[in-house]
Structure 1
Amino acid sequence: MFLGSFTLFMLAIGLLAPIFVFVVECGLAVVKPAEKKPNPEKTQRPTLAILIPAHNEALVIGDTLAALLPQLTPKDEIVVIADNCTDNTVAIAANRGVQVLERTDDTRRGKGYALDYGMQYLNKNPPEVVIILDADCKVSANTITEIACKVKKTQRPVQATYLMEQSLNPTAKDTISRLALLIKNFVRPLGLASLGLPCLLTGSGMGFPWTVLAQVSLAGNKTADDMQLTVDLALAGFCPIYCHQARVIGRLMENQAAISQRKRWEHGHLEMILTHSWVLFKQAFVQRRLDLLALALELFVPPLSLLVLFWLTVSLAGLGVAMVENIWIPLWILGIEGLLIVSAVLLAWAKFGRDHISAKNLLAIPMYIFWKIPIYLGFILKPQTQWLTTERDEPLS
């Protein structure tokens, strides 16, 4: 009996670290005013190239390029890497007047290999800055200049705000999914930036100094290629920083495609926690680097739904122990943790999400969390360890 109580107590204490990090990030984003928008003209715009890996993106690549081209100067270059495409991606991109590289390899497939192919092409005449965008993204006005100038000024990797567009008739679950991405990709990085701390790369809207990106290998097909790149660059001395003024809008998939998309994201995150968070913690102390410690803590926070599920499971066990053994300390700790999580989510929604997400939609949060259970069970039974392209639905009009 004592062993059970002690185990619950240790689990409750163990949950404090990721919950504390999550709550502090959200709290800082809410109470700290965003920095004033800088004037990019104060930093001379560097020469840049935009790499766009694309696998069968004929439905969206034309719109992506149409929104992107007006932001470029004659010195800029767009390189679309058509990776193992079997549709009209190549023709559509070529008709927009951009450089198109065709790549066919049945064994080495995935975003990382496509980006590595693009880097080999750029190596002939390297730009000062490389920006990586997904083929289905809408780039907000002035975003390219914001990213490029911040990269040049800091000589560090830069991550733009990467949010998701919603379908025309979203379900409550879709809306909560959008809120989860808003907290992960905007609120939490904003909180970190308020302290001058680094953030994780999120896959699209990423800018790099050429001299920095050329030091790491992009080739590979890991599910969490963006997190892997974050770790590689951080260990090399170049922790990414957040640029909230720049904004890139991707698209959440629907139905079965949404499950596949989420599975790739969350299995990749869990894999990185198990395999790389300890590396960052170790090097943070060896190198005495606060930025590595902050990044390790950020990576260590699991997906919010999983964090809540784990907290709920331990809390139910704690309730049973409290009723049987009359030991209430673990349950009191867990109760405070639950209150902190709920408060952080509600504050983030009230500050940044209430204009797009109604209070009524928040009632769907439990349904959304339980919808994710098969994804987490899948990580235990059959984890996804390679980057796989999600089949695309029809684009939004």
Structure 2
Amino acid sequence: MWLVILLVVFASALAVPSLVLFVETLAALNPYRDLLRTGPPSSAGTVAIVIPAHNESVGVLPTLSDLRPQLQEGDRLLVVADNCTDDTAEVAAHAGAETLVRNDLSKIGKGYALAHAIAHLRDAPPEFVLFVDADCRVQDDVVPRLKQMSARTKRPVQACFLMVAPSKAAVDHRVAEFFWLIRNWVRPLGLAGLGFPVQLMGTGMIFPWHVILKAPLAHGNLVEDLKLGLDLAADGHAPAFYPFVVGTSEFPMTKKGTDSQRQRWIQGHISVIAGLIPKYLLRALLTCNAGLLALTLDALVLPFSLFLPLLALSLVASLAFLLLGFTTPAIISAANILIVALALVLSWLKFGREVLPAREVGSAAASLIKRLTFYGRLYFGRKASSWIRTDRSEKD
């Protein structure tokens, strides 16, 4: 009997992120109400663009070429070469960026690089700070539009950041691109439409100086963006979503790069849920902070590469007990599968048909089912590195 109770608890726990995903998807289907274009870009104050880079001597050049033409008088373009073993600092300096070199192997993580940049900017602080990853391509009006939006809302602002499949990529990559589209486009769109803040995405995020100055950045958390967004929401500076500007990065081509990247996301997300979500949830309830509550619930939606195997495991175990006459676990598990599947179908119909054409849906589903057990093992493997350069070479 206690096994049945545990299974009911497990299935019920999965029902929370399943419902959150479904509600966010439904909300994204209609135009959201309070994210209007702000008109032509205009100067809204000085900005320091900070690019944290770890062994990115090749990837940083296209990013710098996208950003440099968008600088206005008084703006700064700063690359933090963090624990690099290549010539990232020299390449960035030659390309016209201000460079900082940080070498401290006792403190490894993107958060430490960001904190180092903020400490450097204290002597001549800008009005805004924009973080952009070293391998991220951005459109030509990202900087002025984000400055304008942050000035208007007086809040941190997150642009839309998407991962895209490389050219000639296998169907696995297009499935991953579709799931990323849900994570960073559909769900934030739904949250914004409901009047809630959104999670930070690690790149394309701008902050008023007084907000980022006090933010807790110096840590090695694997998902520093997720933690930062929750911390800011707890302090009354919840991020807004501005989907009219887009940044993109490519998924790794190699299996090694893809697996290590996915492992970091899963392990980091799980660590936040296990160690921090109860604290954020309690604070949201005690302070009646609706924005923090929304982001806390949103954070419970695991990466699909772990979420889907857990849903499948719950259903299979429930069906086994159904043969013994216990129906409750099966009902809850089947309902979870149904609403998640419906959310995926609605997302694909509205947003994903260009990413994953109808002719490839069948092979994509077969590939996904084949890899479910592998995805489920990723978290339980060896601990992921806190910050490594993603392998984007052409061959395994």
TM-score by length of 2: 0.93
| Other-structure match for 2:226 | 227
1:357/1:375 Cα in 2 relative to 1: closer, same or farther (>3 Å)? closer
316-325 or 75-84, which deviates more: 316-325
How do 1:259-338 and structure 2 match up within 5 A?
259-325=259-325, 327-338=326-337
Amino acid at match of 1:159: Q
| Other-structure match for 1:201 | 200
Amino acid at match of 1:180: F
Amino acid at match of 2:217: L
Instruction: Give the drift of 1:354.
Output: 0.5
| Other-structure match for 1:110 | 109
TM-score by length of 1: 0.92
Instruction: Give the drift of 1:40.
Output: 4.5
The answer as to whether partners of 2:156 and 2:206 remain within 8 angstroms in 1 is yes
Instruction: Give the drift of 1:161.
Output: 0.6
How do 1:370-389 and structure 2 match up within 5 A?
371=371, 373-374=373-374, 376-380=376-380, 382-384=382-384, 386-389=385-388
Distance 1:80 1:13 in 2: 46
Instruction: Give the drift of 1:33.
Output: 5.3
1:370/1:288 Cα in 2 relative to 1: closer, same or farther (>3 Å)? farther
| Other-structure match for 2:98 | 99
| Other-structure match for 1:58 | 57
What CA RMSD, in Å, does the superposition of the two structures yield over aligned residues? 2.2
The answer as to whether partners of 2:305 and 2:375 remain within 8 angstroms in 1 is no
% identity of equivalent residues: 32
For residue 185 of structure 2, give the secondary structure of its aligned residue in structure 1: helix
Amino acid at match of 1:167: P
How do 1:340-351 and structure 2 match up within 5 A?
340-351=339-350
Consecutive unaligned residues of structure 1, counting only runs of 5 or more, are: none
The answer as to whether partners of 2:186 and 2:347 remain within 8 angstroms in 1 is yes
Distance 1:24 1:321 in 2: 30
How do 1:27-38 and structure 2 match up within 5 A?
27-32=26-31, 37-38=36-37
1:179/1:103 Cα in 2 relative to 1: closer, same or farther (>3 Å)? same
| Other-structure match for 2:46 | 47
The answer as to whether partners of 1:281 and 1:296 remain within 8 angstroms in 2 is yes
1:34/1:63 Cα in 2 relative to 1: closer, same or farther (>3 Å)? farther
Kindly provide the CA deviation profile for residues 279-327 of structure 1, in whole angstroms up to 9, marking residues without a partner as x.
Answer: 11100111111111111101112222322211211211221222222x3
Q: How many residues align?
A: 393
1:106/1:311 Cα in 2 relative to 1: closer, same or farther (>3 Å)? closer
Instruction: Give the drift of 1:141.
Output: 2.4
Instruction: Give the drift of 1:88.
Output: 2.8
The answer as to whether partners of 2:191 and 2:198 remain within 8 angstroms in 1 is yes
Kindly provide the CA deviation profile for residues 90-128 of structure 1, in whole angstroms up to 9, marking residues without a partner as x.
Answer: 232222222111222232232122111111111111011
The answer as to whether partners of 2:50 and 2:78 remain within 8 angstroms in 1 is yes
For residue 213 of structure 1, give the secondary structure of its aligned residue in structure 2: helix
Instruction: Give the drift of 1:34.
Output: 7.4
The answer as to whether partners of 1:176 and 1:361 remain within 8 angstroms in 2 is no
